[in-house]
Amino acid sequence: MAANLPDPTGTSPAKPNSTVGTRVRNLLIVLVAIALSVAVFFGLQTQTNSVSLNSLAEEATPLEVALKNGKPTLMEFYANWCTSCQAMAPAMDALEQQYQDQINFVMLNVDNTKWLPEVLHYRVDGIPHFVFLNSKGEAIANTIGEQPRTIMAANLEALVAGASLPYAQATGQVSAFSTAVKPTKPANDDPRSHSSQVVN
């Protein structure tokens, strides 16, 4: 009868090693699966938001073509170091995909001295700087700084329709930019002095 009585010391037989090992293995599998899921999630987020300014510039319409093809144009002055330009890159890529058949998208890097005449002509002193050109290549409006996608889309819709832009002359967050060359002014700007420059 003593064999059927409970153990008075309270000790129980040890669990087999295979059960503890199985639990540890299952815990490790769960942890690895969670880590991989998080890595894949963040990896996909990074890929979908990584539109580079260089890739946008490569896909952009050359300025010479845009001025001659009879379509309205959105010209963006940018720089690779410009955080506002980088922040707008995904929205600009989406807008270009949406309007590429109706509007030229031109990108001019302000760090490239080739575009200095345009930088001076359009008075670029902060970037991103957007210039809206009609189908004849004439500047009709501009916006400066980081703009919400909805604002840019409304302006592009108006540009396509040939209507006045609802958000022209808008200014958002900009990255400061200054050219090494400043436009020169005549020494004497007084209109009354023009006659004194005439030699008899």
Q: Is 82 a catalytic residue?
A: yes
Bridge partners for 142 per DSSP = 131
From 85, 89, 156, 170, the catalytic residue: 85
Rounded CA gap, 180 and 169, in Å?
25
Query: Is-contact 106 63, C-beta < 8 A?
Result: yes
Residues 6+ apart with CB under 8 A from 141: 131, 132, 155, 164, 165, 168, 169
Token couple for 76: 């963006």
Q: Is 53 a catalytic residue?
A: no
Rounded CA gap, 174 and 178, in Å?
12
From 75, 82, 88, 110, the catalytic residue: 82
Per-residue exposure over 68-92, b if at least 16 CB sit within 10 Å of its own CB, e if not: eeebbbbbbbbbeebebbbebbebb
Query: Is-contact 160 102, C-beta < 8 A?
Result: yes
Give catalytic residues, as residue numbers.
82, 85
